[in-house]
Amino acid sequence: MRLREDARSLIFTNLCSMLGTFFLGLGSVYIKSKEAPAKDILKDLVEMCRGIQHPVRGLFLRNYLCQISRDKLPDIGSEYGGDGDSINDAVEFVLQNFTEMNKLWVRMHHQGPIREKEKREKERSELRDLVGKNLHVLSQIDGVDLDMYRDTVLPRALEQVVNCKDDLAQHYLMDCIIQVFPDEYHLQTLETLLGACPQLQPNVDIKMVLSQLMDRLSNYAASSTEVLPEFLQVGAFAKLSNAIGKVIDSQPEMPVFGSITLYVSLLTFTLRVHPDRLDYVDQVLAACVKKLSCLPRIEDKKATKQIVALLSAPIEKYNDIDTALKLSNYPRVMDHLDNATNKVMAVVIIQSIMKNNTYISTSDKVDALFELIKGLIRDMEDTDDEELDEDDFKEEQNSVARLIHMLYNDDPEEMLKIIYAVRKHILLGGHKRLVFTVPPLVFSALKLVRRLHCQEGDVIGEDVPATPKKIFQLLHQTVEALSVVPSPELALRLYLQCAEAANDCDLEPVAYAFFTQAFVLYEEEVADSKAQVTAIHLIIGTLQRMNIFGVENRDTLTHKATGYSAKLLKKPDQCRAVYACSHLFWVDDQDGIKDGERVLLCLKRALRIANAAQQMANVTRGSSGPVTLFVEILNKYIYFFEKGNPQITSSAIQGLIELIMTEMQSDNSLSEPSMDAFFSSTLRYIQFQKQKGGVMGEKYEPVKV
Amino acid sequence: MASRRRMLLKVIILGDSGVGKTSLMNQYVNKKFSNQYKATIGADFLTKEIQVEDRLFTLQMLILPFLQIWDTAGQERFQSLGVAFYRGADCCVLVYDVNVVKSFDNLNNWREEFLIQASPSDPENFPFVVLGNKIDVDGGNSRVVSEKKAKAWCASKGNIPYFETSAKEGINVEAAFECIAKNALKNEPEEEIYLPDTVDMAGSSRLQSSSSGCEC
A575 in Cβ contact with A602 (< 8 Å): no
Would A489 be classed as within a structural domain?
no
pLDDT at A260: 87
Same domain, A23 and A105: yes
What total number of domains does chain B contain? 1
Half-sphere exposure of B188 (CA within 13 A, CB side): 9
Restricting to B residues 150-189, those with a Cβ less than 8 Å away from any Cβ of A are none
Would A21 be classed as within a structural domain?
yes
Would A247 be classed as within a structural domain?
yes
pLDDT at B129: 94
Please give the residue of chain A at the shortest CA–CA distance from B38.
A180
Would B215 be classed as within a structural domain?
no
CB pairs under 8 A between A and B: 73
Same domain, A37 and A142: yes
Would A518 be classed as within a structural domain?
no
pLDDT at A702: 87
Same domain, A170 and A210: no
Average pLDDT over residues A91-115: 84
Q: Which residues in chain B touch residue A71, judged by CB atoms under 8 angstroms apart?
A: 46-47
- The yes-or-no verdict on residue A118 having pLDDT over 70 is yes
Q: Does A184 touch chain B (CB under 8 A)?
A: yes
Q: By residue range, what is the domain housing residue A217?
A: 204-333
pLDDT at A56: 80
pLDDT digit string (tens) for A264-301? 889 988 888 888 888 888 989 998 888 888 777 667 77
pLDDT at A64: 80
pLDDT at B161: 92
Q: Does B102 touch chain A (CB under 8 A)?
A: no
Would B216 be classed as within a structural domain?
no
Q: Which of A28, A129, A139 sits opposite B201 (nearest CB)?
A: A28
Restricting to B residues 22-61, those with a Cβ less than 8 Å away from any Cβ of A are 32, 34, 36-42, 44, 46-47
A612 in Cβ contact with A574 (< 8 Å): no
- The yes-or-no verdict on residue A486 having pLDDT over 90 is no
A635 in Cβ contact with A650 (< 8 Å): no
With CB atoms and an 8 Å threshold, state whether A136 touches B42: yes
pLDDT at A404: 92
Would A17 be classed as within a structural domain?
yes
- Taking the CA atoms of residue B132, residue B133, residue B137 and residue B143 in that order, the dihedral angle to the nearest 10 degrees is -20
Length reported for chain A: 705
Three-state DSSP class for residue A160? helix
Would A126 be classed as within a structural domain?
yes
Across all residues in chain A, what is the average pLDDT?
A: 84
pLDDT digit string (tens) for A161-172? 998 888 888 888
Indicate the pLDDT class of residue B79, thresholds 50, 70 and 90: very low
Q: Does A226 touch chain B (CB under 8 A)?
A: no
Task: Encode burial over A607-635: b for 16+ CB neighbours within 10 A, e otherwise.
Answer: bebbeebbeebeeeeeebbbbbbbbbbbe
Q: How far is CA B181 from CA A53, A364, B2, B123, B190, in A?
A: 41, 69, 17, 18, 16
The proportion of chain A whose per-residue pLDDT surpasses 70, expressed as a percent, equals 88
pLDDT at B213: 42
Q: What secondary structure does DSSP assign to A676-703, as a single string?
A: HHHHHHHHHHHHHHHHH-HHHHHHHTT-
Q: Does A14 touch chain B (CB under 8 A)?
A: no
Q: Which residues in chain A touch residue B202, judged by CB atoms under 8 angstroms apart?
A: 28-29, 32
A345 in Cβ contact with A313 (< 8 Å): no
Same domain, A2 and A98: yes
Between CA A266 and CA B14 the distance in angstroms is: 33
Measured over the CA atoms of residue B44, residue B48, residue B51 and residue B55, the dihedral's sign is positive
Would B106 be classed as within a structural domain?
yes
Same domain, A27 and A139: yes
- Residue that is last in its domain, among A286, A311, A333: A333
Least confident of A67-71, A258-262, A525-529: A67-71
With CB atoms and an 8 Å threshold, state whether A182 touches B44: no
With CB atoms and an 8 Å threshold, state whether A32 touches B202: yes
**In this structure, what CATH number is given to the domain that contains residue B142?**
3.40.50.300
- The yes-or-no verdict on residue A46 having pLDDT over 80 is no
Helix locations, A525-583, DSSP H: 529-545, 551-566, 571-581
With CB atoms and an 8 Å threshold, state whether A67 touches B198: yes
pLDDT at B197: 55
Indicate the pLDDT class of residue A623, thresholds 50, 70 and 90: low
Three-state DSSP class for residue B14? strand
pLDDT at B205: 43
With CB atoms and an 8 Å threshold, state whether B80 touches A127: yes
pLDDT at A493: 94
Would A487 be classed as within a structural domain?
no
Least confident of A146-150, A178-182, A459-463, B146-150: A459-463
Across all residues in chain B, what is the average pLDDT?
A: 77
Would B78 be classed as within a structural domain?
yes
pLDDT at A96: 86
Choose the mutation target among B36, B41, B79 for the interface with A, i.e. most A CBs under 10 Å: B41
Average pLDDT over residues B121-130: 88
- Residue that is last in its domain, among A145, A166, A181: A181
More confident of the two residues B38 and B212: B38
Distance from CA of B146 to the nearest CA of A (A): 21
pLDDT digit string (tens) for B140-186? 888 999 999 999 999 998 889 999 999 999 899 999 999 998 888 88
Between CA A386 and CA A369 the distance in angstroms is: 27
Residue A281: how many other CB atoms lie within 10 Å: 25
More confident of the two residues B207 and A502: A502
Three-state DSSP class for residue B102? helix
Between CA A693 and CA A682 the distance in angstroms is: 17
- The yes-or-no verdict on residue A667 having pLDDT over 50 is yes
Query: What one-letter code names the amino acid at A274?
Result: H
Same domain, A46 and A159: yes
Average pLDDT over residues A609-618: 87
Residue B2: how many other CB atoms lie within 10 Å: 6
3-state helix, strand, coil split of chain A in percent (to 5) is 80, 0, 20
Q: By residue range, what is the domain housing residue B32?
A: 2-210
Q: How far is CA A394 from CA A341, A400, A432, A437, A482, in A?
A: 17, 10, 10, 11, 17
What total number of domains does chain A contain? 2
Q: What is the ipTM of this complex?
A: 0.72
Same domain, A222 and A171: no
- The yes-or-no verdict on residue B71 having pLDDT over 50 is no
Classify burial at A113, counting beta carbons within 10 Å of its beta carbon; exposed 0-12, middle 13-18, buried 19 or more: exposed
Indicate the pLDDT class of residue A582, thresholds 50, 70 and 90: very high
Q: Which of A127, A132, A182 sits opposite B38 (nearest CB)?
A: A182
Q: Does A222 touch chain B (CB under 8 A)?
A: no
Please give the residue of chain B at the shortest CA–CA distance from A181.
B38
Comparing C-alpha atoms, which of A206, A188, A201 is closest to residue A246? A206
With CB atoms and an 8 Å threshold, state whether B201 touches A176: no
Distance from CA of B21 to the nearest CA of A (A): 14
Same domain, A211 and A175: no
- The yes-or-no verdict on residue A467 having pLDDT over 60 is yes
- Residue that is last in its domain, among A113, A147, A181: A181
Q: How far is CA A44 from CA A50, A72, A291, B15, in A?
A: 10, 14, 54, 38
Q: Which residues in chain B touch residue A32, judged by CB atoms under 8 angstroms apart?
A: 202
Least confident of A84-93, A650-659, B92-101: A84-93
Whether the ω angle into residue A486 lies within 30 degrees of 0, i.e. cis, is yes
pLDDT at A565: 93
pLDDT at A34: 65
Average pLDDT over residues A79-83: 58
Half-sphere exposure of A168 (CA within 13 A, CB side): 22
Q: Which of B41, B44, B202 sits opposite A176 (nearest CB)?
A: B41
Q: Does B140 touch chain A (CB under 8 A)?
A: no
